[in-house]
A and B are shown apart, each in its own frame.
Chain A
């Protein structure tokens, strides 16, 4: 299982080289033009893909944090840190593309739609996670990792509460738009699935790169420590 994953990881970069241009081509050429919104609707394919990856990334942070607290494996911490960083990146893309789309489709930059608001709060919470990491710099490794894992769990448990509270909040106000209700043509669905796949693979590639980088950083620190100790002992 692990070996085949490693094999896949080797080729992931090359696969991405093919799949990303293909997905761009599909979004602009293969997908039909939407009748009402026109070309702007094409944002949708990457918007949904990034939203899915953003949420998935935070789910990975949650799982890796639990695993870390259970068996204190630094590898789990690296996974959760890498995933949180990439997750923040994709959530930023979601918010940006969502606002652009909302501006042209609903003529407003922002509405208090539950999905939109939840994404924003998700984004703020995981920026907090990264900020916590920043605040912990200079502490012992074990403490850094433990506290980050604790917050990773707290933040994720809060997500459904945030979503439902915003959904039920201000029930007097009409929900401005329901995306789920609009019918998508088969071609649109094909392109959507393809672009979600492409972005998921991009996520995997970015996370694995970042994990490798973090691993190297840890190794470098160890080597530096050993060298320093040797220098100290030298006559």
Chain B
């Protein structure tokens, strides 16, 4: 119980830091906005082929933005030997990583909440068949991004070339999640909502998330060190 309180404190620290500086949320939003705009110029928006390319653009805009800030969320802690203080917190290494995952999860959800309407407007692509189904998709995909991303960012930031290393390591690991994200989102653009496809891939993402949380939990002691 006490440990959960400490973990909540760590998450609160990240939120407070964002409120004060806005470094991560600012850069992530601006980048996603830019990428979305350029994508909408590169792929001429047209209703007839929308379901073929929009889900991919929608998620890749966010995945690129997320990759930009994942490293930062760890490196920020090493400044002014903040990491040493955090490691002294009365909390296990596992919870330390899980707290980081959750803090990143909140940030990514914020990104999706702001960037989705923008992309829908730019591409004229409101998911008419089932707008409410977007919610579970967004919740699951962002959690997967946060869990796998934080785990690998913890790994990559231990090296000196973390900026190049992270995408190289992370993208292949994300492939199942990306496929599932695109398949579920695509289902929302068919004229008739395909429940089989939707539920199947939602379940798949749930399994992916459980596995990545488990792996993060098991490997955290070897990553969250000085």
Question: Which residues from 155 to 183 on chain A have a C-beta closer than 8 Å to any C-beta of chain B?
Answer: 155, 157-158, 161-162, 164-166, 168-169, 171
Q: Mark B191-221, 1 if CB is under 8 A from A, else 0.
A: 0000001001000100010010001000100
Name the contact of A132 in the complex, choosing from B159, B208, B211 (C-beta under 8 A): B159
**B residues bordering A, Cβ < 8 Å?**
151-152, 155, 158-161, 164-165, 168-169, 172-173, 175-176, 179-180, 183, 197, 200, 204, 208, 211, 215, 219, 222-223
Q: Chain B residues near A138 (CB, 8 Å)? A: 160
Q: A135-B165, A153-B215, A153-B219 are in contact. Are A162 and B158 (CB under 8 A)?
A: no
Q: A69-B222, A125-B172, A128-B168 are in contact. Are A150 and B179 (CB under 8 A)?
A: no
Q: Chain A residues near B222 (CB, 8 Å)? A: 69, 146-147, 149-150
Q: A132-B165, A147-B158, A169-B179 are in contact. Are A158 and B172 (CB under 8 A)?
A: yes
Q: Are the C-beta atoms of B172 and A121 separated by less than 8 Å?
A: yes
Among A121, A139, A162, A165, chain B packs the most CB atoms within 10 A around the CB of: A165
Q: Are the C-beta atoms of B175 and A165 separated by less than 8 Å?
A: yes
Q: Please give 9 more A-B residue pairs, beta carbons under 8 A apart, in addition to A149-B222, A161-B176.
A: A125-B173, A132-B155, A135-B165, A139-B158, A143-B158, A150-B223, A155-B173, A165-B176, A168-B204
Q: Chain B residues near A143 (CB, 8 Å)? A: 158
Tell me how many residues of A have a C-beta within 8 Å of chain B.
30
Main secondary structure of the interface of B (DSSP, over half): helix
Q: Are the C-beta atoms of A162 and B152 separated by less than 8 Å?
A: no
**A residues bordering B, Cβ < 8 Å?**
69, 121, 124-125, 128, 131-132, 135-136, 138-139, 143, 146-147, 149-151, 153-155, 157-158, 161-162, 164-166, 168-169, 171
Q: Are the C-beta atoms of A166 and B179 separated by less than 8 Å?
A: yes
Name the contact of A165 in the complex, choosing from B155, B158, B169, B204 (C-beta under 8 A): B204
Name the contact of B155 in the complex, choosing from A121, A150, A157 (C-beta under 8 A): A150
Q: Are the C-beta atoms of A168 and B200 separated by less than 8 Å?
A: yes
Q: Chain A residues near B175 (CB, 8 Å)? A: 121, 162, 165
